[in-house]
């Protein structure tokens, strides 16, 4: 039995047909974790779908209505990059409910996983980049609403910038568009890559991503680390360490939402960084160690992963659980 719990449902499967997004990866991660006895059945918690009220704390009434009535425009469906269906809506509501549950368990146990979610490209008024609903933002807003949380931090290590997260939590207009004043200032610039600082409110957002990749327009996160093509393990870990140190000088979160994308992997089809499987596990370990040293609970959501071999994506996601177990083995006490 693990000193933390994992939220999972077979309902996380995204019914999108043949697609670069491996919709079956959640089930494959679940089965691998079970087969290799990394987790026991009692470590898993089954999520409930988020309520419409939960979703509307992040997304506009109009967008939610379109999703529930199947009235997205062809252009809106195109931006989503996954085929709309009522079943897909159901899967995203469930992923959001899973992140709410994981956030609650994270606060309670010190660490938790949603074996899904991390849909960080969803905006208040539209979805894009395979992301219909921003499950992590929904979870944060729910906990803020319930008074369980006043300050949260997102640490987004997917290879693609967390544009939805930045738009939701940055300085913004009522329609969700960032204000002109939210344009970032460069606080650190090296020969390769840069770290920029942007708006900061009740949620501090960090994104480490490949600069020359989707999304073309990157609204300012509280910290953006813009990495050059081919960034390797050592360079990546140094940037991550630097970004976390810089963030904690400015902000004290009560919960870290770690978006642990598998796509910085060097064999990823949609990424251009050069991390190894071992380097990605070190990345996970670094986030967990830094959080643990400061006594800050963490919830994990999975986000992207498009390795040529789906087994590699599954290994990277399973390794995040292993990294957490290795870090917590001697220190965690469930329920404290
Ligand atoms: Zn991604």
Separation of 305 CA from ligand 1 center, angstroms?
A: 6
> CB pairs under 8 A, 24+ apart, for 329-334?
329/3, 331/292, 332/3, 332/4, 332/109, 332/110, 332/111, 333/3, 334/3, 334/4, 334/109
| pLDDT given for residue 3 in this prediction | 92
- 222 vs 166: CA distance, rounded Å: 8
pTM score: 0.92
| pLDDT given for residue 165 in this prediction | 97
| pLDDT given for residue 330 in this prediction | 59
Separation of 15 CA from ligand 1 center, angstroms?
A: 19
pLDDT per residue of the chain (336 residues) written in tens, 0 to 9 = 899 999 999 999 988 888 888 889 999 999 999 999 999 999 999 999 999 999 999 999 999 999 999 999 999 999 999 999 999 999 999 999 999 999 999 999 999 999 999 999 999 999 999 999 999 999 999 999 999 999 999 999 999 999 999 999 985 444 444 444 444 455 555 657 888 887 778 999 999 999 999 999 999 999 999 999 999 999 999 999 999 999 999 999 999 999 999 999 999 999 999 999 999 999 999 999 999 999 999 999 999 999 999 999 999 999 999 999 998 875 655 444
In degrees and rounded to multiples of 5, residue 244 shows phi and psi of -65, -45
Where would I find the H helices in the chain?
25-35, 52-56, 61-69, 74-80, 86-109, 135-145, 163-169, 233-250, 277-293, 310-328
Separation of 117 CA from ligand 1 center, angstroms?
A: 12
SS3 180: helix
Structure tokens at 190: 């090296």
Separation of 304 CA from ligand 1 center, angstroms?
A: 4
Separation of 161 CA from ligand 1 center, angstroms?
A: 8
Separation of 333 CA from ligand 1 center, angstroms?
A: 33
Structure tokens at 105: 């368990």
Separation of 336 CA from ligand 1 center, angstroms?
A: 34
């Amino acid at each position: 039995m693990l000193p933390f719990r994992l939220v999972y449902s077979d309902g996380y499967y995204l019914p999108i047909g043949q697609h670069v997004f491996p919709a079956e990866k959640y089930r494959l991660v679940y089965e691998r974790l079970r087969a290799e006895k990394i987790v026991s059945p009692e470590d898993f918690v089954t999520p409930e779908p988020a309520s419409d009220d939960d979703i509307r704390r992040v997304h506009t009434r109009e967008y939610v209505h379109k999703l529930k009535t199947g009235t997205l425009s062809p252009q809106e469906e195109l931006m989503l990059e996954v085929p709309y269906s009522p079943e897909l809506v159901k899967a995203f509501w469930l992923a959001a409910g899973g992140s709410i549950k994981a956030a609650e368990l994270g606060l309670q146990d010190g660490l938790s996983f949603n074996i899904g979610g991390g849909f960080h490209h969803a905006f208040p008024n539209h979805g894009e980049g395979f992301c219909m609903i921003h499950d992590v933002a929904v979870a944060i807003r729910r906990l803020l609403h319930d008074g369980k949380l006043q300050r949260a931090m997102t640490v987004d290590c997917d290879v693609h910038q967390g544009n939805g997260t930045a738009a939701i939590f940055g300085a913004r207009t009522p329609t969700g568009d960032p204000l002109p004043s939210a344009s970032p200032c460069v606080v650190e610039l090296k020969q390769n890559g840069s770290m920029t600082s942007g708006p900061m409110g009740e949620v501090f957002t960090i994104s480490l991503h490949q600069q020359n990749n989707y999304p073309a327009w990157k609204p300012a996160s509280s910290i953006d680390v813009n990495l050059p093509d081919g960034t390797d393990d050592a360079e990546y870990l140094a940037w991550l360490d630097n970004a976390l140190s810089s963030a904690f000088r400015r902000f004290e979160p009560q919960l870290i939402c770690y978006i642990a994308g598998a796509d910085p992997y060097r064999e990823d089809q949609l990424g251009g960084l050069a991390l190894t499987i071992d380097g990605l596990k070190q990345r996970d370990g670094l986030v967990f160690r830094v959080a643990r040293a400061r006594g800050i609970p963490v919830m994990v959501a999975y986000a992207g992963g498009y390795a040529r071999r789906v087994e590699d994506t599954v290994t990277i996601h399973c390794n995040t659980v292993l990294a957490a177990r290795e870090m917590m083995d001697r220190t965690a006490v469930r329920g404290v």
